[in-house]
């Protein structure tokens, strides 16, 4: 039997194995650290807490001050940069809406934004201007106009109403017919007279629905009725007082107007009486003049025109120009609505209304006006727009039969209700 000897490995092979084993069992190149654990296989189990970097905050750049210059790296003089902020997402938290990107990824383009400028201011509503001419200087009978303006009732309806006083009592209707003003105040008798003369006037509202005119004569002259006016000096301020009211008073008594000495005293009715330049005045405001003259020591007697054959009529009305009516309908309707509101407030608060009148028109603060205020309240029209067709028809018929107007004008051309525009 032949026996073979076992061949042993060479010394070079053995030395290579020992070197490899030494390298595998030695610490990492950094020195002093623990061996790196093997990476886990697959996904982490459920319930594991995961550290997710919060993107968007770039780590701080290293300081510009460095020491050393070896090829192994640079060391900063400041403290080490803090680690990026992290957010913990544990079990049960909703997953991230979008997966995180790379930390070294360049930031994307800025998201467009909208610049919001201040809102454009809202334009105020249009304002309609109306010039209204009074029939006389301001008086308590103008209360609805004054209060509506003072309490903003016109302004709330988009109106700017300007009130003016005529230089002559006969001027308002003429200026209105010539389109120099938008509206004018007068009395119903003058409306009938002017329309008969061809002026394009029409009534659109009533402020005082009862006659306030009267014949006021000096006491002690023996004038007990219109029949005693022959040979007397009678003052007047306007055409309707001279041509309509006085003519109606004289007609039943057979006294001709030529037998009466007529004097135009304009606004100076009280002065003409107190200076004894006239024996009486026609068309005077009976709620004011007797008290005013009494305060000056002049005793008077008063004759109400409706008690001496003059039909009932409106004492103060608002007129418009019929030729311009189409372009003013809406503004006039709003103005008359404001007058109605003002009148209702005046009748409900007479004392406060009087105080407002004095605050707005200090010239009204006289004993005569204060005494007349309760009487004025009784005659203010609570429905300024309403038209009494029968009253206007009767008055027109009376004037026509008396020969004071040439044409018989229908009521539709004399007066209208702006609410029916």
pLDDT digits over 74-118, tens only? 444 444 444 444 444 444 444 444 444 454 555 556 655 555 666
- Pairing state between β 66-67 and 201-208: unpaired
Q: What percent of the chain has pLDDT over 70?
A: 70
Of 192 and 25, more confident: 192
Res 124 pLDDT > 80? no
Average pLDDT of the chain to the nearest whole number: 81
Q: How confident is the model at residue 135 (pLDDT cuts 50, 70, 90)?
A: very high
What percentage of the chain carries pLDDT values higher than 90?
64
420 band by pLDDT with thresholds 50, 70 and 90: confident
Q: Does 255 have pLDDT greater than 50?
A: yes
Distance from C-alpha of 93 to C-alpha of 127, rounded to nearest angstrom: 64
pLDDT of residue 419: 86
* pLDDT computed for residue 12 by the predictor: 56
- Residue 68's pLDDT band, with cuts at 50, 70 and 90, is very low
pLDDT of 384 higher than 80? yes
* Sequence-distant (≥ 6) Cβ neighbours of residue 280 within 8 angstroms: 215, 216, 217, 218, 223, 229, 232, 233, 234, 235, 273
Does 357 score more than 70 pLDDT? yes
Q: What is the per-residue pLDDT for 88?
A: 43
- Span 217-251, pLDDT tens digits: 999 999 999 999 999 999 999 999 999 999 999 99
| pLDDT tens per residue across span 199-210 | 999 999 999 999
Res. 13 pLDDT band, cuts 50 70 90 = low
Regarding predicted confidence, which is higher, 56 or 192? 192
* Three-state SS letters, the chain: CCCCCCCCCCHHHHHHHHHHHHHHHCCCCCCCCCCCCCCCCCCCCCCCCEEEECCCCCCCCCCCCEECCCCCCCEECCCCCCCCCEEEECCCCCCCCCCCCCCCCCCCCCCCCCCCCCCCCCCCCCCEEEEEECCCCCCHHHHHHHHHHHCCCCHHHCEEEEEECCCCCCHHHHHHHCCCCCEEEECHHHHHHHHHCCCCEEEEEEEECCCCEEEEEECCCCCCCHHHHCCCEEEECCHHHHHHHHHHHHHHHCCCHHHCEEEECCCCHHHHHHCCCCCEEEEEECCCHHHHHHHCCCCEEEEEHHHHCCCCCCCEEEEEEHHHHHHHHHHHHHHHHHHHHHHHHHHHCHHHHHHHHHHHCHHHCCHHHHHHHHHHHHHECCCCCCCCHHHHHHHHHHHHHCCCCCCCCCHHHCECCHHHC
- Residue 18 pLDDT > 90: no
Pairwise CA distance, residues 111 & 255, whole Å: 100
For residue 16, the model assigns a pLDDT of 58
Q: Which residue has the higher pLDDT, 339 or 106?
A: 339
304 - beta bridge partners?
A: 214
Q: Could you tell me the pLDDT band of residue 126, with boundaries at 50, 70 and 90? A: confident
Residue 213 pLDDT exceeds 50: yes
Tokens coding 63: 């300081």
Average pLDDT of the residues in 149-154: 96
| Span of 6-15, 186-195, 266-275, 365-374 with lowest mean pLDDT | 6-15
Which comes out higher in pLDDT, residue 58 or 10?
10
Total Cβ atoms within 10 A of residue 240: 27
Asked whether the predicted pLDDT for residue 61 surpasses 80, the reply is no
**Residue-level pLDDT at 118:** 67
Tell me the β-bridge partners of 280: 217, 234
Per-residue model confidence (pLDDT) at position 205: 98
């Amino acid at each position: 039997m032949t026996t073979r000897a076992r061949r042993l490995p060479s010394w070079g092979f053995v030395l290579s194995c020992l070197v490899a084993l030494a390298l595998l069992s030695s610490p990492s190149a950094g020195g002093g650290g623990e061996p790196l654990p093997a990476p886990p296989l697959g996904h982490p189990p459920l319930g594991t807490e995961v550290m997710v970097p919060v993107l968007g905050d770039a780590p701080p750049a290293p300081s510009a001050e460095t020491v050393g210059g070896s090829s192994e790296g640079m060391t900063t003089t400041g403290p080490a940069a803090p680690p990026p902020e992290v957010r913990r997402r544990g079990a049960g938290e909703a997953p991230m809406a979008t997966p995180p990107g790379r930390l070294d990824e360049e930031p994307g383009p800025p998201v467009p934004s909208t610049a919001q400028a201040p809102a454009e201011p809202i334009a105020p509503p249009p304002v309609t201007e109306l010039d209204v001419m009074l029939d006389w200087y301001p008086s308590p009978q103008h209360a609805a106009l004054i209060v509506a303006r003072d309490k903003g009732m016109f302004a709330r309806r988009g109106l700017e109403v300007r009130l003016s006083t005529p230089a002559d009592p006969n001027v308002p209707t003429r200026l209105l017919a010539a389109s120099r003003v938008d509206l004018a105040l007068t009395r119903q008798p003058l409306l009938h007279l002017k329309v008969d003369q061809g002026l394009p006037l029409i009534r659109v509202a009533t402020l005082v629905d009862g006659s306030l005119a009267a014949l006021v004569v000096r006491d002690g002259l023996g004038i007990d009725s219109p029949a005693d006016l022959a040979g007397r000096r009678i003052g007047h301020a306007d055409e309707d007082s001279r041509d309509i009211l006085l003519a109606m008073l004289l007609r039943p008594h057979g006294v001709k107007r030529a037998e009466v000495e007529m004097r135009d005293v304009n606004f100076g009715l009280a002065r003409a009486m107190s200076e004894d330049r006239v024996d009486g005045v026609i068309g005077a405001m009976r709620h004011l003049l007797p008290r005013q003259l009494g305060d000056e020591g002049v005793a008077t007697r008063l004759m109400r025109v409706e008690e001496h054959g003059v039909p009932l009529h409106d004492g103060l009305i608002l007129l418009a120009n019929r030729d311009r009516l189409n372009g003013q309908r809406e503004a006039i309707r709003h103005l008359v609505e404001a007058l109605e509101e003002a009148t209702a407030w005046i009748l409900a608060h007479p004392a406060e209304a009087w105080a407002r009148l004095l605050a707005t028109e200090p010239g009204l603060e006289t004993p005569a006006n204060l005494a007349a205020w309760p009487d004025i309240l009784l005659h203010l029209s609570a429905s300024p727009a309403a038209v009494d067709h029968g009253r206007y028809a009767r008055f027109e018929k009376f004037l026509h039969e008396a020969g004071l107007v040439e044409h018989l004008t229908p009521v539709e051309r004399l007066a209208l209700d702006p609410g029916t525009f």
